Structure 1
Amino acid sequence: MNREAAEKRGRSAETIACWWLRLRGWRILARRARVPGGEVDIIARRGRTLAFVEVKARATEQAAAMSLDPWRIRRVVVAAERLAPRFQKPGDDIRIDAIYVVPGRLPRHAPNIWQG
């Protein structure tokens, strides 16, 4: 797949993930937040939980989960650490989540994928 098609698929998956989160009571605070050293696809809040969400679109859920290798997770963690002061409120629980978008299936939200 060429870069342009991959970019389009990624943006589409992020839009699906945002709607999925909204339907479950999350408020989207930011999309594609970039800082030196990393990027977060979605920053969302529900109550006192602030989630930095990585979205993966693949042909299968297993392929999506496998695409979150330690290097990619580390980039999300670095970005979350640098972005948290902008979005964090006192008493918040902060976590790194993933949403897997697979054709023909509902998205799967995997909470708290990183234990640091």
Structure 2
Amino acid sequence: MNRRIERGSKAHRRGHWAEYIALIHLMLKGYRILGFRLKIPQGEIDILALKGNRLAMVEVKQRRTVAEALEAVTPDQQKRLWQAGLSLQAKRKNLSRFDLNIDLYAIGPRAWPVHIKNAFIDMT
């Protein structure tokens, strides 16, 4: 197998593993999971979760540091996440009453996962 393809495949598996860790951690923190790997026209929402009046679209990144995870979400991607969240709220009227938040879940090697609430400003 080509080394590049092999590295990409390993990264893909690590990314899925990171999403599962984030999912379990969020549930343990009291979030109700409404969606996982939701495919919508604007892209994919890693995790859609609800806690109280807070509707969280959680972007999961596995990097060496939290700073690298934050940098991995480009301004264009942040804008797409906001647009995706607003679109989802418009289509699912039961979600429109909740406060939309874009969170980042950063997972690094040999480190406890970090959940950053409201990681990105409203880019709409």
| Same fold flag (TM > 0.5) | yes
2:114 maps to which of 95, 104, 108 = 108
Q: How does 1:40-79 map to 2 (within 5 A)?
A: 40-79=45-84
- 2:90 corresponds to 1:95: no
TM-score of the pair, normalised by structure 1: 0.89
Give the RMSD, CA atoms, in angstroms.
1.6
- Work out the percentage of aligned pairs sharing the same amino acid: 37
Runs of 4+, deviation exceeding 4 Å: none
Structure 2 alignment gaps of length 5 or more? none
Decide which moves more: 55-64 or 77-86. 77-86
Tell me, in whole angstroms, the C-alpha distance in 2 between the residues paired with 1:83 and 1:97. Answer: 16
Which one is further off, 36-45 or 73-82? 73-82
1:89, 1:66 → 2: CA distance? 29
| Structure 2 length-normalised TM | 0.84
1:20-39 matches, within 5 Å, as 20-39=25-44
Please state whether the residue corresponding to 1:84 is helix, strand or coil.
helix
- Tell me, in whole angstroms, the C-alpha distance in 2 between the residues paired with 1:5 and 1:84: 34
Tell me which of 19, 31, 35 is aligned to 2:24: 19
1:83 aligns with 2:68: no
Number of equivalences: 115
Shift of 1:89: 5.0
- Could you tell me how far 1:75 is from its partner in structure 2? 2.2
List alignment gaps of at least 5 residues for structure 1: none
Q: Secondary structure at the match of 1:78?
A: helix
CA distance in 2, matches of 1:58, 1:41: 16
